Structure 1
């Protein structure tokens, strides 16, 4: 069908050997990740926590925790807005950035990962194969297991880092 977008098979991963860019729905915000290892190995994680599910509008969120200096955000129309999410398990806020025009999630920041950002990968033309899942205890019973992917009960870092059987 003409006009359909989003088919990752139309975007060979070799085109993204140095960087990848994606945008929000209205095109106001463009995010560029510069990392030559983005597609050379599994990267990022699928998060099943309720807050990430709400932000993604889905049963899971595809995230990439990466050094802030590897991420460039162009906010052409000044629509980048922040929501301070305090409904977290740790009680520490997660700052969730989104486009105020179309609601597209862009990134999250938390003091748990200083110097890093969590890029919401759904806006990218292609997503690297995730290396892990977090909040596996929060998965729906109908969800399957991803082959060769570690699933953590809650978080993949910190004191509650524990794999799900």
Structure 2
């Protein structure tokens, strides 16, 4: 058993990721590399409180990054990457949720609602950029704290349905 706690994001200065960063699933079979020099230059990504994202994250909120597919490389060295087609979506478009079939770690999601983009599940990375927005703010638990520097939207944080709460 390790003496020091593991996974402290403060162990990694954002400057380490000036060109991008890599993360992996818990068993190490799947590695996802982001090639983007702007990951930590401004707020990026979003927190999502919708039921589907909460379920896939196994938590009260999911930390996601919507990014261009060509900036992402997925390596599946042991062939453990599997896909679940989520049809229960607000848009009516399926969301293809990818995960590791060994450890259950969520990896990414793709949908035709965002062509040419992929939603990465940020929990697998050593450090997470400050989110730019929160989606499905109406679905937050009453005990959750507020994030005053992050815009919160009633439902969607992007697209025509967006309505800002703060």
Cα RMSD of the aligned pairs, angstroms, is: 1.0
Matched with 2:148 is: 147
Matched with 1:106 is: 107
List aligned pairs for 1:71-86, cutoff 5 A: 71-86=72-87
Q: Distance in 2 between matches of 1:63 and 1:6?
A: 18
Matched with 1:138 is: 139
Q: Distance in 2 between matches of 1:136 and 1:110?
A: 21
Gaps of 5+ in 2: none
Matched with 2:13 is: 12
Q: CA deviation at 1:161?
A: 1.0
Matched with 1:120 is: 121
Gaps of 5+ in 1: none
TM-score, length of structure 1 as denominator length: 0.97
SS in 1 for 2:10: helix
Q: CA deviation at 1:44?
A: 0.3
Matched with 1:159 is: 160
1:65-109 deviations in whole A, cap 9, x for unaligned?
000000000000000000000011122100000000100000000
Q: CA deviation at 1:157?
A: 2.1
Matched with 2:3 is: 2
TM-score, length of structure 2 as denominator length: 0.97
Task: State the aligned residue count.
Answer: 165
Q: Distance in 2 between matches of 1:3 and 1:30?
A: 24
Structure 1 residue 48 corresponds to structure 2 residue 49: yes
